[in-house]
Amino acid sequence: MNLNTCLPGWLCLLVLFVPTSAEAVNQEIRASFTPDSANPQSNKFINKTPSSGYCADAPSECRDNEMFSIRLPMRFESNRAMQPDDVSRNSAMFKVPAQWRTLTVTNVATQESEKVEVRIAGIGSRYALSDTAANLTGAPSAAEGHRRLWSGGVAGAWVNAPPPCLYSGVGFYVDHAFRFFWKTPVEAACVKTAKFLIPAMSYEYLDFAYELRTPNPLGMSSGLYTGDLSYRIGPGGDFDMGDVMLPTDSDLTLSFVLDVQHTLKVDIPPGGNKVQLVPAGGWQSWLQAGRRPVRLFRDQTFNISASTRFKMQLICGIGLFPDCALENRDENRRVQLHVSVSLPNGLTDLSGQPVRHRRLMPGPENAQQFQPGFYVDRAPEILHFEVAPDQMEVMLRPGVGGTYSGSVYVVWDSEV
């Protein structure tokens, strides 16, 4: 799995840091949806924010563990010495908002709103000690010092996450510091207890990963959707690192921008704008034997590409209630013209039913609305034109010729 994804079925995005003040940190999370003809069944937003942090430095580890990270320049400093075998809140404690939280994003132009869900899926940083791990513990090496310094024996090194946090890959260390990253499957405290006195320490930055559940973009209008989700940082907050390690910033706001770029395109074949209606089997029976045809019709195929809801309506050049009409100007006669549509698989009405010979009638009040179940790319759509049987006697009379003609304007409109 690459760094643009997280867990199957979920979209995970990275965050670009935008500093605002000493008391708050804001991030913009930007994702976009553009239909992909190479993968029409994929109805997901794509991350458009740059990677940073742990997974940018160790991409193979994060790829293997299906996660990625965001790095924020948010520090945590100890307000007193960390004592050996102290309680959880006085130790190296991490509790993050790992449960799903919901925010509303709103279309800037239309004010339509949708729900987005977010959870924090991992946490990490680099702890920096006031002295080397070897000096603090009397260990013969840096590696052994970092292992002895914390509860867990051999597992004390911070590459190994304390439960309920989970191992995520690798850790990196130097004499006085250790870089780590842990998965956070549940919203509960993960604690490393010091086994030796630590006069002072800090977390030099904040790395975290998150998972994002987005709405189905095919049900959203085109445009930018924006919304914020804020977290409190510090003791008792959403990101709680205990009572010893205090943050330099008290608030974190995730600012979401979801960009929906839909496609609605109808390709008309050459000559497809001129429709000639004929009877089944042609005109020979009428011309040679005077047998009036049952009906006149023509099925005209177009290619439609659609990733968005749309409506169809008719505008008549000539009308004959409740339909459009064809007119014989020489005879001053009109006949009703029925127009209907059949849509390809993947496009349905708003109740989810297939569209087969769906009647279209003039006027905006009679517009028919349709929606995609997946991106339809250059699929055949058929417009059916028919002069019905009850019009044949008016239209065709023995010994009387003439031409019937008229114009019908079919409108495909994504503004529903």
> pLDDT tens, 144-202?
999 999 997 667 789 999 999 998 887 899 999 999 999 999 999 999 999 999 999 99
Is 187 within the bounds of a domain?
yes
Indicate the Cα dihedral angle 129, 135, 140, 143, nearest 10°: 0
Per-residue confidence band for 88, with pLDDT thresholds at 50, 70 and 90: very high
Q: Is 131 exposed, middle or buried (0-12, 13-18, 19+ CB in 10 A)?
A: middle
284 and 246 belong to one structural domain: no
DSSP string, 7-31: STT-B----EEEEEETTEEEEEEEE
* Residue 5 confidence (pLDDT): 33
| pLDDT greater at residue 210 or residue 141 | 141
Phi and psi at residue 146, to the nearest 5°: -65, -35
> pLDDT tens, 107-132?
999 999 999 999 999 999 999 999 99
* Residue 19 confidence (pLDDT): 38
Is 317 within the bounds of a domain?
yes
Cα separation, 116 vs 133, whole angstroms: 43
206 and 327 belong to one structural domain: no
Please answer whether residues 337 and 406 qualify as being in contact, where contact means their C-beta atoms are separated by less than 8 angstroms: yes
36 and 62 belong to one structural domain: yes
- Tell whether the model's pLDDT for residue 133 goes beyond 60: yes
HSE of 404, CA atoms in CB hemisphere, 13 A: 23
Domain boundary among 260, 292, 313: 260
Is 54 within the bounds of a domain?
yes
Indicate the Cα dihedral angle 87, 89, 94, 100, nearest 10°: 120
Q: b/e map of 392-415 (b: 16 or more CB within 10 Å)?
A: beebbeeeeeeebebebebebeee
* Residue 66 confidence (pLDDT): 65
Cα separation, 162 vs 155, whole angstroms: 9
* Window from 27-41, 221-235, 240-254 with minimum mean pLDDT: 27-41
Is 9 within the bounds of a domain?
no
Is 11 within the bounds of a domain?
no
- Tell whether the model's pLDDT for residue 203 goes beyond 80: yes
- Domain count of the chain? 2
160 and 65 belong to one structural domain: yes
* Residue 398 confidence (pLDDT): 75
- Tell whether the model's pLDDT for residue 4 goes beyond 70: no
Cα separation, 13 vs 229, whole angstroms: 14
Is 406 within the bounds of a domain?
yes
HSE of 127, CA atoms in CB hemisphere, 13 A: 28
* Residue 154 confidence (pLDDT): 64
Cα separation, 152 vs 164, whole angstroms: 14
The helix or strand, by DSSP H or E, that contains position 210, with its residue range, turns out to be strand 206-213
256 and 268 belong to one structural domain: no
107 and 142 belong to one structural domain: yes
Task: Read off the DSSP letter of residue 250.
Answer: S
- Whose tokens are 């904040």? That residue is 206
Cα separation, 261 vs 250, whole angstroms: 36
296 and 371 belong to one structural domain: yes
Is 3 within the bounds of a domain?
no
44 and 187 belong to one structural domain: yes
Cα separation, 102 vs 113, whole angstroms: 13
- Tell whether the model's pLDDT for residue 377 goes beyond 70: yes
Cross-strand bridge partners of residue 25: 19, 252
* Window from 47-61, 215-229, 257-271 with minimum mean pLDDT: 47-61
Specify the amino acid at residue 399.
G
Secondary structure of 307-374 as H, E, C letters: CCCEEEEEEECCEECCEEEEEECCCCEEEEEEEEEECCCCEEECCCCECCCEEECECHHHCEEEEECC
* Residue 96 confidence (pLDDT): 97
Phi and psi at residue 64, to the nearest 5°: -65, -30
Q: Distances from the Cα of 25 to the Cαs of 19, 78, 104, in angstroms?
A: 6, 20, 20
Domain boundary among 222, 238, 260: 260
Cα separation, 316 vs 325, whole angstroms: 8
Q: b/e map of 210-249 (b: 16 or more CB within 10 Å)?
A: bbbebbebbebbbbbbbbebebebbeebbbbbbbbbbbbb
Domain boundary among 226, 260, 294: 260
Cα separation, 355 vs 341, whole angstroms: 7
> pLDDT tens, 31-42?
999 998 888 888
83 and 191 belong to one structural domain: yes
- pTM recorded for the entire structure: 0.78
> Of 181, 187, 156, which Cα lies nearest the Cα of 91?
156
Range of the domain at 99: 16-260
| pLDDT greater at residue 297 or residue 3 | 297
Is 110 within the bounds of a domain?
yes
231 and 379 belong to one structural domain: no
* Window from 56-65, 103-112, 203-212, 329-338 with minimum mean pLDDT: 56-65
> Of 307, 335, 320, which Cα lies nearest the Cα of 395?
335
